Structure 1
Amino acid sequence: MSFKKLIEPLADTLHHNEFKAPLPLKKQILSKIKGGASLFVIAPEGSGKTTSIVISVIQKLKHAVEDAPRALIFVKDKQAALSLELEFNAFKRGTDLRVYCAYDEHNIDIQRDEIYEGTDIVIATPKRLNRLFYLNGINLNKLQMCIIEDADFLFRNNNLAEVTRTPESIGKCQYLVFAEKFDARFKRWQNSFMYNAQIVKI
């Protein structure tokens, strides 16, 4: 997929930052994601997984519509959440998309109030997202994309179980899992909510 096919603000930002052409990973997955496919993206560090997430989410959501989030991105910790938020802020210039980070170290009542005010993209640690959900602090009924960045962290500290709970609470959704290797435990997801998912390896 060419950068020229992206929405104008995003294409302009990429041009301004001298992104001249998609890396091999982006060439393989951006059009698939735009088409609504669920994917397991298996690629090494430095291949462009994070920027692929940012570009794909901005391209799909385009602009703010309502208060409930339409994209949810799971990350391993606070630092990863804040780093990904910086990436979104750099690429979403010219759009009115709103990004919110929900992580364990922040007061959950404040987070619940801030999410209620409206956001398009939520970047969250698994445990905090589930706490918010069970406290009725986040509405997932409008979710279009559920993404896991650097999914290798799922196999520590019960994160796999925490993330697996989320699809039980939402309707039809596009799932994107980014990792450096395909773990056999992902096959459980292939047999349930990701049964049509494609595997893309670089």
Structure 2
Amino acid sequence: MPFKKLHPSIKEVLKQKEIVIPTDFQKSSIPVIKSGKNVFCNASNNQGKTTTLIMTIMHKLKCEEVGNIPRALVLVENNDKALDLYNTFTTFTKYTPLRVYVANEKEHVDLLKSEIFEGVDILIATPQIVSKLLLLYGVNLSELKLLSIDDAEFLSQTNAYNAVLSITQSISKCQYVLYSNKLNPNLKRLESYFMEHATHVNV
């Protein structure tokens, strides 16, 4: 069972949330993501994609606070989704040392820079905000271990797509996991960029 092989802190949260049985998607995706491969994760709604995203990031980072720069990055479509995901994330991480930070685009970029410099393990943001921070030397991605994109269909928007390509070009080595309902041609094109040799999980 996928849940049995997750970090003990994650299993404790699942117990508190009374999440006992993994979905078909979680059974298929969690072992593949844990293997370190790049993965396209495709499943319909209510299959636990967001929960999987959170759990696999926590497991990858061993539920530990390390250093000062992000080791996981989650890209989302817009600011509202970033804030929603942050709120969900913190229900899982609140009993761990993991530092989760959302780059709220309504805040001044200088404030975002200063808060990120204080120390972050997991950064949640839109591609546009991350691109801006990179240009202003406001975030260092040299220690990034995992980049996840939630509801990746939004990459059909040219600005977001180009921003993601720009971000990945500044990363030397990293695991990439994309979550979506279906693998559309726009997402499949990413195999020519940073999703080379990606495994496909379809439920």
Q: Distance in 2 between matches of 1:43 and 1:164?
A: 24
Q: Distance in 2 between matches of 1:160 and 1:112?
A: 23
Match of 1:184 in 2: 185
Match of 2:112 in 1: 111
**Offset at 1:133?**
0.5
Q: Distance in 2 between matches of 1:82 and 1:114?
A: 16
Match of 1:164 in 2: 165
Equivalent residues in 2 for 1:51-66 (5 A)? 51-62=51-62, 63-66=64-67
Kindly provide the CA deviation profile for residues 84-124 of structure 1, in whole angstroms up to 9, marking residues without a partner as x.
11111111133100011113222100000000000000001
**Offset at 1:165?**
0.9
Q: CA RMSD in A?
A: 1.2
Q: Which amino acid aligns with 1:20?
A: V
Equivalent residues in 2 for 1:36-185 (5 A)? 36-62=36-62, 63-156=64-157, 158-185=159-186
Residues 1:19 and 2:19 aligned together:
yes
Match of 2:8 in 1: 8
Kindly provide the CA deviation profile for residues 13-60 of structure 1, in whole angstroms up to 9, marking residues without a partner as x.
101111112111110011111110111111111111100000100111
Kindly provide the CA deviation profile for residues 64-95 of structure 1, in whole angstroms up to 9, marking residues without a partner as x.
11101000010011111111111111111331
**Offset at 1:159?**
0.7
- Partners of 1:2 and 1:21 within 8 A in 2: no
Which 5+ residue runs of structure 2 have no aligned equivalent? none
- When normalised by structure 2's length, the TM-score is 0.96
Q: Distance in 2 between matches of 1:161 and 1:104?
A: 18
Q: Distance in 1 between matches of 2:194 and 2:113?
A: 27
Which 5+ residue runs of structure 1 have no aligned equivalent? none
Q: Distance in 2 between matches of 1:73 and 1:14?
A: 21
- Partners of 1:104 and 1:127 within 8 A in 2: no
- When normalised by structure 1's length, the TM-score is 0.96
Regions of 4+ moved over 3 Å: none
Match of 1:32 in 2: 32
| Partner secondary structure for residue 196 of structure 2 | coil
| Partner secondary structure for residue 146 of structure 1 | strand
- Partners of 1:39 and 1:176 within 8 A in 2: yes
Q: CA 1:156–1:191 in structure 2 vs 1: closer, same or farther (change >3 Å)?
A: closer
Q: Distance in 1 between matches of 2:76 and 2:56?
A: 17
Q: Distance in 2 between matches of 1:77 and 1:17?
A: 27
Q: Distance in 2 between matches of 1:188 and 1:198?
A: 14
Matched residues, number: 202
| Partner secondary structure for residue 102 of structure 2 | strand
Kindly provide the CA deviation profile for residues 160-202 of structure 1, in whole angstroms up to 9, marking residues without a partner as x.
1111111110111100011112121223321232111011111
Q: Distance in 1 between matches of 2:144 and 2:187?
A: 21
Higher deviation after alignment, 141-150 or 93-102: 93-102
- Partners of 1:13 and 1:91 within 8 A in 2: yes
